[in-house]
A and B are shown apart, each in its own frame.
Chain A
Amino acid sequence: MSCMNHKHILQIKNLSVSFTQYEKGLRKIDLKVIRNLNVSVGEGELVAVVGASGSGKSLLAHAILGILPRNCDAEGNIWFEDELLSPKRIEELRGGKIVLVPQSVTYLDPLEKVGRQVRKEQDEESVRTKQEELFDFYKLPQNTADLYPFELSGGMARRVLLTTAMMESPRLIIADEPTPGLHLEAAKKAMSHFREFADKGNGVLLITHDIELALEVADRIAVFYAGTTVEEAPVADFQSVDTLRHPYTKALWRALPQNGFHPFPGKQPYAKDMPNGCPFGPRCPQLTPECEGNIQEQLIRFGRVRCIHAK
């Protein structure tokens, strides 16, 4: 699907984020939490970045929006609608053309009423009307505007967070784990709004730990492992294990309930003790000495993969 005639909304190349951290006794270490990550979203596309919980996926969203914590370094090229973004340009675009749908109600100010927050404290008639229309659209009762975040149910909170995004007529939505704690059916329903949005020619970057959900709604899936995307593949490739490229993706596939629920041993390495070369090496059945060298990303059958053994 990454054909040349296809227009990109978002393209990320070689994104890296690293932290300086202190351990007991004040030993200082540099943690590369995201390394050389590549991912792209085309017009009309919903792309899912799938990775284990707590593996630092959220930082990807924060990096695109320029809201990383201050004690880290970040570098990488981000294009938005073919424009290479500078940190300053990111600041201008965020909240306008690029919006974030965060994962939980804690992203709302607990002391401000919901309506005012959705309107960004603006009280003009036009803004008010738009907010009311969106509440109607997402089936939120109008009196929701007068509630405080703690008074929202889980489902309402998710829809309120969605309206905050839609207030701005964005081109790209970055949804960071927007369906926590929902079972698949409910999550799919919640995702329908994102699907509709993408179908209008916009882009959605969905960051999630839930591969089953991603398979249901996404056009393409980027598999996130140990701080980087090891494989980016059209969702159709997940029909069979043979069309997948990376051993980690294959292992994930086999671990799915419908494919036999095969667990695979080992854990993702921490950023602290990353192996040389391929981060998946220590768990990989195809490990060879060459895997400890530099692994280049290669294009295979319209998908990209970081594995020298991929076919």
Chain B
Amino acid sequence: MNNTGSVTILQKYQRKRLNQRSQTLLVLAFGSIFLLAITVIGTLVGDIAITTNFTQKNFLPQIAHPFGTDWLGRDMLARTLKGMSISIYIGLFASVISAVIAAILGAAAATLGKKVDAVITWFIDLVMGIPHLLLLILISYAIGRGTFGVVVAVAISHWPVLTRIIRGEILQLKEANYIKIAGKLGQSKMKIVVKHMIPHVFPQFLVGLVLLFPHAILHEAALTFLGFGLPPEQPGIGIILSESMKYLSLGMWWLALFPGMVLMTTVLLFDLVGGSLRKMIDPHSAQE
């Protein structure tokens, strides 16, 4: 019975062909390059985006105009890239502002005692109680329509979720044994915060920031689409799609299809890049 020449395989884990690390890095690299390319090209595209050319009106997509042209003969690819880069800038700015608000409020809620925590938590509930898009409409109504309005609206309305995350992280850290021990050992509060808290929370903050991007971009586009955001002379993605509505029934499908796809791809890539970053700093989410 003890002739253990062969060993029974009890369980075999099906590994992926590409390991998780390479896959994550690949997504991160490709996503970042693609997004950077859209931003840079969109910024450099300049006047082509607004140059009208009445000899080239309503062209179907073709080699010279991959996304076609509109009723004023403007190249849709150039308009789309320009519009997308504007959206990315706004998204970047808005995300940073929201993330900073979130960091301050989250840290305050977690460290300044029960009362402050209750107030901030209540305030989060309050802001999350108004459907986000309606809140955006209200804020841009308060500030006045236009670029400034949409930037402020998007920037000051995206903090609640990240605030909750940061608050939770810090609260958890405060309970962690090594922090408590550091406190008992007489390390100063300042030192604990700088040496132990920030290095742990900062990566979470960074990931949260990147994951705010897609929301900010989508909301900017939506608000602009509804007529509250960027002014019509800007080639914003929301403007392009809003205008395309009028030409849909004329069969000009390319006016809506391609710009929307670029918007979707951008949002998706930001999401994937954020997700990859999270996997890098939080290996438990990659335990597969």
Contact = CB atoms under 8 A, between A and B. Distances in A.
Given A26-B20, A28-B19, A21 B8 contact: no
Contact-residue size bin, chain A (C-beta under 8 Å from the other chain): 20 to 34
Interface stretch (A67-75, A192-200, A225-233, A287-295): A67-75
A82 B67 CA distance: 72
A279 to B, nearest CB: 20
Interface string B130-174: 000000000000000000000000000000000000000000000
Contacts of B13: 20, 70-73
Contacts of A87: 8-11
A26 B286 contact: yes
A24 B7 CA distance: 34
A107 interface: no
A75 B21 contact: no
Which of A14, A15, A26, A70 has its CB near the most chain B CB atoms (within 10 A)? A26
A74 B20 contact: no
A84 B3 CA distance: 12
Contacts of B288: 71
A23 interface: yes
B7 A77 contact: yes
Contacts of A25: 21, 280, 283
B55 interface: no
B21 A63 contact: no
A66 B11 contact: yes
B11 A73 contact: yes
B23 to A, nearest CB: 9
Contact of B287 (A22, A27, A84): A22
Given A28-B20, A28-B21, A23 B8 contact: no
B10 A14 contact: no
Interface string A55-92: 00000000100101011111111110010111100100
Nearest to A19: B13
B1 interface: yes
Given A26-B24, A28-B20, A28-B21, A14 B4 contact: yes
13 contacts: A13-B4, A14-B4, A20-B13, A24-B280, A24-B283, A25-B283, A26-B20, A63-B11, A66-B11, A71-B287, A74-B11, A75-B7, A75-B9
Which 3 residue pairs are nearest across A and B when measured between Cβ atoms?
A: A26-B21, A74-B10, A74-B11
Interface of B: 1-2, 4, 6-13, 15, 19-21, 24-25, 279-281, 283, 286-288
Given A14-B4, A63-B10, 19 more contacts: A20-B15, A22-B20, A23-B283, A25-B21, A25-B280, A26-B20, A26-B21, A28-B20, A63-B11, A66-B11, A72-B11, A73-B11, A74-B9, A74-B10, A76-B7, A77-B8, A86-B8, A87-B8, A87-B11
